[in-house]
Chains A and B, each alone.
Chain A
Amino acid sequence: MAIIAVYNIKGGVGKTATAVNLSYMSAATGNNTLLCDLDPQGSSSYYFRVKSKKKFSADHFLEGGSSLEQSIRGTDYEHLDILPSDFSYRNLDIALNHMKKSRKRLKPILDPLKAEYQHIFLDCPPNITLLSENIFYAADMVLIPFIPTTLSMLSFTKLLDFFKGSGIDRSKLFVVFSMVEQKKTIHRDMIDHFKGRKRILNTFIPYVTDIEKMGIYRQPVPAYLPDSKAGQTYAELWREIEKELLSQLDTDGPGCVIP
């Protein structure tokens, strides 16, 4: 049972594609899985052809419990549900700011769902705000899709500093190289530089049109092109992440303690 946040400060790094395809793989391997689309742009929801209920809003989300549960929708795939995004999520930060213990509100909202789902994926908005902090506290793993460039490195260093400064357990952080173009020297050099280090995942996601086509098919890649390179990559990446989650369980024991 794990909460996996897919996060990056930067946008356009393949975050939503990672969240959608990994949550699909988690479900396809028999785990009851929930994908929470926390990005007000609602791209994950779009890929699954799901809209939130008219009455649903950021307030209902923060209320949690049955008003949240009623907004969960089944996708077209076995074992995979989605909590669709709502445009009102753009105000989640303001709402959180008005609450007590504003950095730790998300965890108690998500924890009860662990009874239903083995894995909960969070597709996070690209910024570093109060909501992001909540996500870091709640997650058992923060997965960072990372385009191997110098600018990405800079924002990653900032994130590490932020974790250090807020006293959040940095061992939750995992990097997956995303939108990798093997032709580019800078990509190859960056990957070589980091390869084999702790918390850098071995599998990387290539920059291929099959992934971009998700917007046309409105389906996860491994669902419409299971044998493609992209489809296989997500399957491989999921196996690697599952292994990490298992070893985390071994070392941490069950559950995750808020510092």
Chain B
Amino acid sequence: MKPLAQLSRQLPAPATLQELADELGKKYTVQDAPAQTTTLHFYDSFDWRLYSNALLCFEQNNGLHLTDPVGRDLVPSLPISGEAPGFYWQLPDSALKQKLAPVLEMRTLLLQSSFSQTTRQLRILNKDEKTVATLILSELRVETGESDQPICSVQLHQVRGYEKWFQRLEQDLEAFGSPQPCTKEQDLKTALAAKGRSPQDYSSKFSVTLKSDMAALTAAKSIYRDLLGTMQKNEQGILDDLDSEFLHDFRVAIRRTRSGLDMIKKALEPKISARFKEEFRYLGKITGPVRDLDVYLLMEEDYKAMLPDHLQKGLHYFFEDLAEQRKKEQEKLVQALQSSQYKTIIKDWEKYLRQKKNTEATEKTPVIGIMAKKIIRKRFERVLRDGRAIDTDSPDESLHRLRIQGKKLRYCLEFFSSLYPPKEMKRLIKQLKNLQNNLGLFNDLSVQQDMLNNYLASLKPGSGKAKKMGAAIGGLLTNLYHEQQQVRTEFEAAFRCFSSQENISLYENLFATEQKPNR
């Protein structure tokens, strides 16, 4: 059946709402219901995973709703009170929980926006006193601390079978305000805009727009500024230990910065470059232990699935111990991030990146357009060369090195992606991602086995608990080993795709420099 028509218009002020109601009262029989006020709390992960998947999650009248952008419930709402719902696994078993799980994964729900909404329903009646259309007059209030002027709008909803009434009212409304989408998403956008925000105002994806005639130093600085921004945005979430991904994004920004300092060598003054390479290496070091433990803790469900029932107890002890270790490491991390050493690094780096005066130095550097091509070509050729040298007898170490090279290529493609056609860049990145997935998985499995082996070696023999843990870890090691063997056999196919003639030509065409490539 045809969906019911609806529309919304934004009105300038509460007075206009009354004007509209009066005007309708003159033309129609109107039944006016008393105004109702509710408060809405919108929740999403820090990186807007729900919104990006066309989902809205909000609490209203003590119920947690999951809707589409229009505002239609996708699953029955859950009774909750007050506080943010947290991780999906903390919710009671329900269709809502099931729907959230694959989208949110390890991210926690945070309060993104709160507002109160006063609505007044007007029903338009025909001569039988039957409702033939419904209007909702709404005043939305966000606590901004500034003015308390509400944002006003009107919605018109069709009643099935009474299309002509809708059309008449639609014409009547044209004299009032301006059209806007008639959706819940619009309410969210309106509320965020009142605070100078918008949905998806944080994303872990790197995105900086460069121009090819920019001086390399200017370009490099804007890349680093963006990465520093990512770090700063995630800092509080790490300190508050909200979920594992604040630290993850923070560390990716560190790695990208280090990679940039390495690859875009000639852009920065050598002294600066040398200092911050060292500083970012330090930042990588202090953030490492918690992340490593997070990775294992996130594996808990996977590990559980690998082992039979009688080994689960040992596994449980193992994870208890990891959680305990993480607690200690987290404390150290918080101390490090609150130390003056950390604050000085960030302050100095920010100050340097915001300096606009060093024109002399800036002009000395070449333009980024030329430099980017050289860097990408170099990284690509390196991955190609190293990858081609790998055969079935090559040691694991060679795959690990290739993974690092792949990462560097990925970072520089992303840094400079705005300089090239988006369609092609997307293809290159997708192709590379395939290879990286294989190498990444292979590496993860090695690291996990190493860690488990070390853990096994550190267990004090004798106690029943140690025996149980030993058995569980043994079981995991066997599984991981077989999985790793499987991943290794898949490398060849992944690399063959990456090194296809088609892919090589794509690189050559996009990043052609004066001299002929040397393949």
Kindly state whether residue A243 has any CB partner on chain B within 8 Å: no
B130: contacting residue among A30, A50, A53, A81, CB under 8 A: A50
A72 B130 Cβ-Cβ under 8 A:
no
Q: Are A74 and B162 in contact (CB-based, < 8 A)?
A: yes
Contact assessment for B131 and A76 in the assembled complex, using a CB-CB cutoff below 8 Å: yes
Which of A48, A49, A53, A73 touches B160 (beta carbons < 8 Å)?
A: A73
Asked if A72 and B1 sit within 8 Å, CB to CB, the answer is yes
Please tell me if A169 contacts chain B, counting CB pairs below 8 Å.
Answer: no
Residues from chain B with a CB closer than 8 A to the CB of A71 are 161
Give A168 to B4 CA distance when docked, in angstroms.
38
Flag if B162 contacts A76 (CB, 8 Å): no
Q: Which chain B residues border A48 with CB–CB below 8 Å?
A: 130
Q: What DSSP secondary structure best describes chain A's contact surface?
A: loop
Name which of A48, A72, A76 has the most chain B CB atoms within 10 A of its CB: A76
| Residue of B2, B158, B160 ringed by the most chain A CB atoms within 10 A | B160
Establish whether residues A76 and B130, one from each chain, have CB atoms under 8 Å apart when the complex forms: yes
A116 within 8 A of B: yes
- Tell whether A74 pairs with B160 under 8 Å between CB atoms, given A49-B129, A49-B130, A50-B130: yes
* Closest residue on chain B to residue A52 by CB atoms: B161
Q: Within 8 Å CB of B159, what residues of A?
A: 73-74
Interface check B41, CB cutoff 8 A? no
Chain B residue nearest to A50 (CB atoms) is B130
Asked if A242 lies at the interface with its beta carbon under 8 angstroms from chain B, I say no
Q: Number of contacting residues on B, CB 8 A?
A: 14
A63 within 8 A of B: no
Give the nearest-CB partner of B132 in chain A.
Answer: A74
Q: Is the CB of B76 within 8 A of A73?
A: no
Whether B123 sits at the interface, judged by CB under 8 Å, is yes
Binary CB contact string for chain A from 115 to 142 against chain B (1 if under 8 A, 0 otherwise): 0100000000000000000000000000
Contact pattern, B 146-177, Cβ under 8 Å of A = 1, otherwise 0 = 00000000000011111000000000000000
The B interface is mostly helix, strand or loop, or mixed, namely loop
Asked whether A72 and B123 contact (CB < 8 A) given A49-B128, A50-B130, the answer is: no
The answer for the CA separation of A71 and B161 in the assembled complex, in Å, is 7
Given contacts A30-B76, A116-B1, contact A73 B129 (CB under 8 A): no
Closest to A69 in B: B1
Distance of A71 Cα from B2 Cα, bound (Å): 12
Q: Please indicate the chain A residues that have their CB under 8 angstroms from the CB of B76 in the complex.
A: 30
User: Given the complex of chains A and B, what is the CA–CA distance between A69 and B130 in angstroms?
Assistant: 20
- Quick check: A76 and B1 within 8 Å, CB to CB? no
Mark interface residues in B41-80 (1 if CB within 8 Å of A CB, else 0).
0000000000000000000000000000000000010000
Interface centre among B4, B123, B129, B130 (most CB of A within 10 A): B130
Interface residues of A in 207-226 (CB under 8 A from B): 218
The contact string, 1 if C-beta is below 8 Å from chain B, for chain A 43-63, is: 000001111010000000000
Contacts of A72 in B (CB 8 A): 1, 160-161
For the complex of A and B, 4 pairs with smallest distance between CB atoms: A73-B161, A49-B130, A74-B160, A74-B159
Chosen A-B contacts, 24 in total, with CB atoms closer than 8 Å, are A49-B129, A49-B130, A50-B130, A50-B161, A69-B1, A69-B2, A71-B161, A72-B1, A72-B160, A73-B159, A73-B160, A73-B161, A73-B162, A74-B4, A74-B131, A74-B158, A74-B159, A74-B160, A74-B161, A76-B130, A76-B131, A81-B160, A116-B1, A218-B129
Q: A50-B130, A76-B130 are in contact. List 14 more A-B contacts (CB 8 A).
A: A30-B76, A48-B130, A49-B130, A50-B161, A69-B1, A72-B160, A73-B160, A73-B161, A74-B131, A74-B158, A74-B160, A76-B131, A81-B160, A116-B1
